[in-house]
Amino acid sequence: MDFEKTIKNAYEESVDGERFGDTEAELLSLQKHIRSCKRIVVPNRNTVKTKVINEVLTRFNLPSAEHLCIHTNSADLSRTPAITKALMALDTCDCDLVIARGRLGVPGSGSLLVIMDKKGRILSAATSPSHILHGKEVEDAVRDEITHALLRIGFMVVE
């Protein structure tokens, strides 16, 4: 089913009180939507996160992302920094998909990696606790988050 039609149908089911959870067809439509993306960007000042994200995307046989060099420090002034980073990318470039990673909320709240489409819809996400708790290098935390975000919407590693 077409992704836009899938979303519209789910909306109408909710309005009618007939929505009882995600369906396999919806999940497959979401996966197809992500696979069809031509331009995927990772907004950040440096390429560290992009490199790790691309390693994982390759393992899942998904299109690679490109680094979108924008200064995202101002995103930390918002209540949802990672989501704000993704929206900044949508506002500054023409892309099909954004994979953004930043603070979840207030300082100490941990990190959020979010996968957002060109309409600003969150397709998947994953969180990590504060660095002080997990002690992982940024690369390892990002690797875990993007892997979890893809697995939770049914993608599988292609060996």
Give the span between the Cα atoms of 36 and 48, in whole angstroms: 25
Q: What is the pLDDT of residue 159?
A: 75
Into how many domains does the chain fold?
2
Question: Residue by residue, what is the 3-state secondary structure of 89-155?
Answer: HHHHCCCCEEEEEEECCCCCCCEEEEEEECCCCEEEEEEECCHHHHCCCHHHHHHHHHHHHHHCCCC
CATH of the domain at 91: 3.40.50.10150
Same domain, 90 and 57: yes
Kindly state whether residues 141 and 103 are assigned to the same domain. yes
Q: Are residues 24 and 81 in the same domain?
A: no
- pLDDT digit string, tens, across residues 110-154: 999 999 999 999 999 999 999 999 999 999 999 999 999 999 999
Q: Please, what's the b/e burial string for 72-82 (b: 16 or more CB within 10 A of its CB; e: otherwise)?
A: beebeebebbb
pLDDT single digits (tens) 94-108: 999 999 999 999 999
Which residues sit opposite 42 in a β-bridge?
Answer: 67
**158 belongs to a structural domain:** no
Q: Which of 21-25, 87-91, 131-135 has the lowest mean pLDDT?
A: 131-135
> In the predicted model, what is the mean pLDDT of the chain?
96
Q: Render pLDDT for 26-82 as a digit per residue (tens, 0 to 9).
A: 999 999 999 999 999 999 999 999 999 999 999 999 999 999 999 999 999 999 999
